Amino acid sequence: MKVLKYSIPLIFLLFSLLNLYTNSIQQTTPITPTKIEEEFDPSLLYIRSLDKLIQHVDSINAGPTVTKNDSLNYANLMARTLRMRFIHGWSRYTWKNNWLLAILQPLHPHLMGIVAPDDILNYPEALCSQQSIIGMEALKRKGYRYRKVGFFKDKKGHFTYEILLNDGWHYYDLDKEPSLKFMEKNHRPSIHRLANDSLMRAKAYANKDPWIADKLLKSYNNHHPINVFPARKMRFAHRLTLFVSYWAWLFFLFSFIWWDKRHK
């Protein structure tokens, strides 16, 4: 009985070591998708962290300094990079990353979805929210102010962001990928302007499903706090369960030792 009891901490320890190996030691290059139906540049898969992303954009910006005159240009370069870095898909953890999170998955359909920018960048695919989180957090490090822009129409949702410059808000949609040429030519209009100009919407999303321009964009909600991480609760849940997944074995070990000493 005692051997069986003390095997429990050992089992949890093995799971903890697996999580530690997967998250901290194992370094694998993201697999290039075989089916690509959108803009994608596999050479950008080397970007595996926010630091590397910022370094890359700094390099094509001819330096890390972002001045008042080129602040929109830098944000455009960031958007171009991210829309080419990812294809549409869902980056999510598995039990190898966090066994406790996997056990709790039935509590929430999106519980395994990754929200930590550096972790999302370990994958070649990302949802609209995941791509936007990376863009917002990278620009925040460069001194930009951002806010989430959400959409919900016909039981379908979408997630983008705006940045605030001296001349107002500028809208970015990394996942649906509106026309870069048109959006940049028109100085990256705000979502308010875009949603209230049917001709502009149609030109921006000319090669996309007409439902996006005709229905989805008009359902926007940009009443969100500035520079506030949009998935704080989910990030906390991920961090808490990961901590427990690493140290649960120690809790059981000390509990059984205390129990044995008490009943001797």
Span 113-145, pLDDT tens digits? 999 999 999 999 999 999 999 999 999 999 999
Written as one letter, the residue type at 166 is N
- The pTM (predicted TM-score) of the whole model is 0.89
In tens, the pLDDT along 33-50 reads 766 667 899 999 999 999
In tens, the pLDDT along 187-236 reads 999 999 999 999 999 999 998 999 999 999 999 999 999 999 999 999 99
DSSP letters along 5-52, please? HHHHHHHHHHHHHHHHIIIII---PPPPPS---S---GGGGG--SHHH
DSSP letters along 85-134, please? H-EE---B--TTT-HHHHHHGGG-TTTTB---HHHHTTSSEE-HHHHHHH
Predicted confidence (pLDDT) at residue 105 exceeds the cutoff of 60: yes
Inter-residue contact 54 to 142 (CB < 8 Å): yes
